């Protein structure tokens, strides 16, 4: 799909999750997680570390980097009668999940992480009530990239 020029890829995203498929394939069924707290959906990347070889006189002979790491975070309100989007046992989630994000303008490109370790932190405050803070850490799939572009078909 061609890229739409001059449009910012921001706004209210659609965040969907599903169990990672066999052979690290993306989930075949995704479920939207809502309602997400405003401005809490954030993708962060950490560059890989640099490996360097130095010769005499501290001359840099060769340099290469290890792969980057990706983490997606979002906070979800748990409304009256609502349930957790991902079941956990005292904060531990044992299955790998896929997570994908579609921007507010669904013609623009979001992302998908096919295989993620997931952590959840449950909080409560008088200002917001019960919240679930999810952290999706990308794991290297058996083939392909940890973070891939995704455009809604």
Q: Please determine, for residue 1, whether its predicted confidence score (pLDDT) is greater than 70.
A: no
C-beta pairs of 78-83 under 8 Å, 24+ apart in sequence: 78/129, 78/130, 78/131, 78/132, 79/35
Q: What is the pLDDT of residue 5?
A: 66
**Among the listed residues 96, 102, 97, the one whose alpha carbon sits nearest the alpha carbon of residue 149:** 102
For the ranges 4-8, 19-23, 129-133, the maximum mean pLDDT occurs at 129-133
Q: Please determine, for residue 3, whether its predicted confidence score (pLDDT) is greater than 60.
A: no
Report the mean per-residue pLDDT for the chain.
93
Q: What is the pLDDT of residue 128?
A: 95
Task: Give pLDDT tens digits for 79-99.
Answer: 988 889 999 999 899 999 999
Q: What is the pLDDT of residue 117?
A: 97
Task: Give pLDDT tens digits for 15-73.
Answer: 999 999 888 999 999 999 999 999 999 999 999 999 999 999 999 999 999 999 999 99
Instruction: Judge whether 13 and 101 are in contact, CB under 8 Å.
Output: yes
CB atoms within 10 A of CB 18: 16
Domain boundaries, the chain: 28-47+68-143
């Amino acid at each position: 799909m061609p890229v739409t020029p001059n449009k910012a890829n921001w706004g209210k995203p659609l965040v969907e999750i599903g169990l990672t498929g066999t052979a690290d394939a993306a989930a075949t069924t995704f479920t939207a997680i809502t309602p997400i707290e405003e401005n809490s959906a954030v993708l962060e990347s950490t560059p890989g570390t640099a490996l360097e070889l130095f010769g005499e006189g501290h001359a840099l002979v060769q340099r290469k980097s290890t792969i980057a790491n990706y983490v997606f975070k979002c906070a979800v309100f748990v409304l009256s009668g609502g349930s957790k989007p991902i079941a956990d046992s005292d904060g531990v989630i044992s299955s790998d999940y896929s997570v994908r994000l579609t921007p507010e303008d669904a013609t623009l490109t979001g992302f998908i992480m096919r295989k993620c370790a997931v952590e959840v932190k449950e909080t409560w405050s008088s200002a917001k009530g019960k919240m679930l803070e999810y952290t999706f850490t990308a794991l290297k799939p058996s083939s392909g990239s940890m973070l891939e572009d995704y455009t809604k078909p």
